Structure 1
């Protein structure tokens, strides 16, 4: 059999995490180091590999129920090669190391099982009830595979150069950064979008580190529907935090 498709043969790299292509992650398992992957993202595997649902303790269950933020994970273990992908999103491998990584859980594809993750809150500088946003804080030493809609932009934050990002486009940032959620308007009009520009909430990053932004103001295209009306502009109502746009709102 002959076909141009054979140009996409399996990579022979022996590194633990490699990109089979821009939209597919290849992970080598050697029997002694499991990985945690988003449920349902395995597209193929070779060898003696098993997949088990990852247990959530009570604190994680309560946190997920209260905030809507968290990870539905499966544990991949054994000896072989696993291929992971989700809705043809672009995949990027990040070394967490000591600095830590804060990320929206909707953008996590896989991670080393040795890493620790917990839900944290980012609050509005205006202190408006209900306007906080919950994120996932990942700490420890290991690798995380993130997903973006399209090729992302990595912005460096320094003490003399802070960065503002659209709240719906930010993917992840260095945990050590100071973060403020804000609207580019006076507090008296905080519930108004910025004039007629369609721009709303932002995150402002200060300190030393990095912020990762995707070229989209939506999470991966999981049949997301914005909805209509004033409430929909701010992620409220039936298309809000518990709707199809879960994780893509301020609630």
Structure 2
């Protein structure tokens, strides 16, 4: 029960920290997508993260829930289908990307904002937040469902940005009971802090590991980055705080 509550709380918390007080306004539907994702939560160097935030913004460490203690999220995203506002497939309809995210606060601003610091994405680069970088991204995933036993999963990701370096993830784990939840988020661009998008999504999430909830990883994980612009973040002193596997993620996207 604690696990189900925590994952639902996580979805609600992301929505709350990403939404300030906005007046009612018309929205423009720009499409929808169906993904599967793996989200890693880290505690990393505050100064290195703040160097990627807009001027005047200070990074915050999440205080509660399954991601408590983390100040950086790395989302590995496998987009299976992207649709336009008329529900027609985009070209390309499938892509892969890795988003680097952090939450920040600023004096005079209402609440915390979630910022997209960087997106590495397979070409053609959409650069939805003005900071996309072309990358070769590969994913290999296997799942085994033996009789009378829990499912086991193995994921391998390799990200090679055109700007150099490599980001690798190898994750194997035994799954627990997932939870279905709905939420809304409004991520902001780190290069244009006045720009944000509106996401309303449903997701099936499995909390694979959480330091805050004393949930140990039933498996193994390996993460390594040699990407130059992330060198001060992944300097060997970062700590993995949580792992969230999201096999189903369905989202509607709007602009304010």
TM range (shorter): under 0.3
Who wins on radius of gyration, i.e. which is larger? Answer: 1
TM-score of the two chains, using structure 1 as the length reference: 0.24
TM-score of the two chains, using structure 2 as the length reference: 0.23
More strand by share: 2
